[in-house]
Chain A
Amino acid sequence: MAKKKFVVGCFDDEAVLFPAVKKVRTAGYKIHDVYTPFAVHGLDHAMGLRETSLHTAGFIYGITGTATALSSISWIFTKDWPLNIGGKPHFALPAWIPIMFELTVLFAAVGMVLTFCYLCQLAPFVKKHHFHARATDDLFVMVIECTDKTNTDDLQAFLTSNGALETKVEVAEDGWWLGRYDKDEMPFEENQIVAA
């Protein structure tokens, strides 16, 4: 994937971040993403992201599970090998409810987690560019994608005036690749002394 140019602004308070997101969008800049240490409710709306349909996928996986259980058990017990169990009916629906329920949950859960990982491109050994190491700690990192016309100095000043503590320009890949994290910067090396 080609490298792109980004302007990065870091905020330390979500109360400052929200108005900043609003202003940056009204000013016509394209927000690439905002990286936050936890789920900030309402930020997706503020950024204009659409709702996720992950739960719909979960519903479809769930009914697939129900259907799988019902169809396989009924085929096995009425067609493939009609086993006489205490003279009870071969099509013993009430007795199948537990397994139908369990498979519904199993399919929905496994399917949703896999879909989640696929959509977010999450997997072991996957590496992505990190705009700021503290984005998973205590900073809210707003990343704005630059076009040919973007004046980065103006944009950085604009971010600072809106409460950004730190701004920088970075050229980075925006996709993912297979890689390791051990070559990354280690800004917390002083922890070692604290920890020992």
Chain B
Amino acid sequence: MAQLEEVGVEKYKHLVSERALTGETMLLNMGPQHPSTHGVLRLLLELDGEIVVNCIPDVGFLHTGIEKNMEAKTYQKAEVMTDRLDYMNPIGNNLAYVMAVEKLVDVDVPPRAQALRVILTELQRIASHLVWLGTSGLDLAAMSMFLYCFREREQILDIFELVSGQRMMTTYIRPGGVWRDVPVEFENAVRDFIKIFPKRVDEYESLLTKNPLFIDRTVGIGILSREVALSHGVTGPMLRASGVDWDLRKARPYMGYEQYDFNVPVRPEGDTYARYLVRVRELRESLKIVEQALNRLPMGPVRSENRKIVPPPRSEIGVSMEALIHHFKLWTEGFPAPKASVYSAVESPRGELGVLLEGDGGPKPVRVHMRTPSFDNLSVLPEIVKGHLVADLVAVLASTDIVLGDIDR
């Protein structure tokens, strides 16, 4: 049986400086229960007064074995696990996983389903960035940001509830399409949001962008250079704030992103303020995509007609023997996937969300690996906080926009 033992500096000898061994600098735990670590993240800090000399992140407190669990489920049933990975981006996680399944079994998605997926993932991106904006405002003592951002996020979650019945763990995107068509109220709900949201972003910006206190806390803090970012596998807004123009929606368009006209915000500075600017501009760009996709939302089916992969609609089950058999087989046995491996990636609000999916010819995957962006984005933290104050560490950590569910899986 495990005994609780005192953890000495011995264990971290190779990670801290010489001065920590003599007791000249102090080792201090920040977290796992700390409001500004955005979840259960423990940072072991080596401090010289108030200056951070070394930072050793300790993750894994939220490890739930999602990858292992997915191996024990059929392809359809494993999807519900993906919602729980990055809980700020459940629809985006569904999309990443479902795209990998579709690539593995080779099934086409009807255009209406593609457009719906784009609308919902972009709304999800906005919701995720709003949580980031609100909580990082909170960390820098801009309390009202939190209240404003959560007001708009609530409106997006209401749209998700409208289409899927769930606010967060939606599992709305399914292999071969989406769960079912959106209700008639959907269009007006999204239009209402499109109407009010640009003014609300102006409101956020008027509170922060030129706020001298905010600028003092963020400009020149936590500078991440292009080379360090790439070597550490940093992706998403963090990479774009370091001057690298890389967005999978532009570079490798999926779900018809090539039809939409949007810009990819890039800033060369690489500091906390640049990361703020990139994400706030992404709010506006995502809204542009939502509007375009809604304007040209095609009519037609929302699920593939491939009955070997996609269950038949309820209306068919009562009248067609084949439909009943397909439905029964799909939900008891699942569908077989070839003995092969695919890697498919989407641009999540945090960066490249990749799924490595390997099948063995049966209905369950041999291996599902989620390449989660927060994991790599956090691994760069020790590099960029050295020499800053503890208070600045809070600002830098907020700007990395990590989600612990995404890191620990």
Do A and B assemble together?
no
